[in-house]
Structure 1
Amino acid sequence: MGALALVSAVGIFVDDRILVGVPIWTKPFKFSVSLLAYALSLAWMLSLLPRGRRVGWWAGTVVAVAGAGEMVLITLQVIRGKRSHFNQTTPFDNTVFQVMGATVVVLWLGALVIAVLLLRAKILDRAMAWAVRLSSLIALAGAAVGFLMVRPTPEQLAVDESPIVGAHAVGVPDGGPSMPLTGWASNGGDLRIPHFFGMHALQLLPLLLLVLAALAPRFARLADERVRLRLTLTASAAYTATFALLTWQALRGQALFAPDGATWAAAGTIVLLSATAATFSLRGPSPSPSPTPSPAPSPHRPS
């Protein structure tokens, strides 16, 4: 993936072809960088397993092979100057997309096996254990958003044998106005936003915990494993809620930076609840009440 990212970066500058509104090598570049981060994170998580390493090795290998197969097909279509996703223009294009869909399912199942192994693993640091477990589950949900993209749009259903079936954008056609760098739709919903955000929980939540551990020598409160655990659970809950909000926003055909009142209200609620939970997470245990000293016995006086 690292090598392909470099090749794709060069392709963006030397190949002037445009596909669906962006330079044609943009897709393999973004996918290879994303898979690079994803694979490194899974490899590190597998190293934490005290048991089940052989099963984890096989599951990781399945993920790696499926990811590599996906990128071979994406790159093949780039070389041909054709769309890789949702393309049913010719029998060959349709076959490529169907095989890509199968590799994604296999990759997702391999990641599911790893997530189950992590759920059952007894990792000594409880905060790290839950950061790894919850981030792997959120990443699975983020990857599953991709399955929503293959549904035909109302415009495609209105056409007999549409050459393109499925879309990243919701409410607007793919290839319209987009955000810089990401290429996400700027005038409507885009399912790639929650897809990206959910999958990269795999890096961001463990990274948060590593930052907390690095700050522990300076802040005594963070040296308490229970505090780090509570902050990890709070961050995971906030991340999950934000992922759900982004998915809901995209499915309603709403651009990321054009939220309506309902989206603003949901976002404000998430921020308020997360800040409150983080504040309580940082509080130390209540001090135990000091025992009341019993009165000293009076000396016995002979009558």
Structure 2
Amino acid sequence: MEYVKTADNGRPDMRVNIGSLQLENPVMTASGTFGYAREFENLMNLHRLGAVIVKGISLHPRQGNPPPRIVETACGMLNAIGLQNVGVDRFIAEKMNYLAGLNVPVIVNILGDSIAEYEEITVRLQGVPGVAGIEVNISCPNVKKGGVAFGTDPKMAASVTAAVKARSKVPVMVKLSPNVSDIGAVALAVQDGGADSVSLINTLIGMAIDLKTRKPALANVIGGLSGPAIKPVALRMVYEVAKKVSIPIIGIGGIETAEDALEFMLAGATAVQVGTANFINPRASEDVVDGITAYLMKEKLPSIRSIIGQLELS
């Protein structure tokens, strides 16, 4: 078990490294649940986050799917937003100036329908002040391969990772889809493709039906399930991937409290992302930071790094 010195103020050292990127604490916001951060500036202290991961950015603006596109489910929610966003050029021109002024790293989630689109977005983000990293969403369909998601095929996942990595001067994180038979194989493939870290999991595919109308609750029929309902699945997948890869893992899926986050870290995650909880409690990410600090102080642990991967099996 590794221990490091406490911070200068005597409080536990909350710093973690994600590749070459050092975070002041292991708590990030999950893409698609935090807008472009400015939406939360009057609701919480943004400067206390470990990192901000913004809404997914495509090469061109996307309008997304028609409503209804969000529905509450037992212990979670389904969304079929359709990756609505302003596109990379407007993102750089209209959003990055504000984001660059935050005292936290900004990681840009990117998405595309072809490897060429991922490459072009990556190129346009290089040298933009404030961009500290890229998170690659590989749950998107490859239009040149009949709509098969990049993240469901290890070879395709490795290819898009290698393409982005070759054009990026900042660390590259790859966000894995849970809708696969062997997430460990995909994680290993993107590590071989040059990923600096992996984040998991993205949403599970699901649907809901309105009994009164006998119609799908979502206009898109199917959507992505997130929230506490998927936490056990996410936790299991993080544990499995931690046994396969040597790069840092960022845990995602149903994290609402410090206790949730700490479970993911014991399972092998170096950091976590808070997602759906932001819709319920805008201060959720900040509360998780406070809760982890309190836990470390109670347990007299000088560093958050002392619990990463320390799950006891016997």
**Which structure is higher in RCO with an 8 Å CA cutoff and minimum separation 6?**
2
TM exceeding 0.5: no
Higher helix share: 1
**Considering only CA atoms, is the larger Rg found in Structure 1 or Structure 2?**
1
Q: TM-score, normalised by structure 2?
A: 0.28
TM-score by length of 1: 0.28
Q: Which has the higher strand share?
A: 2
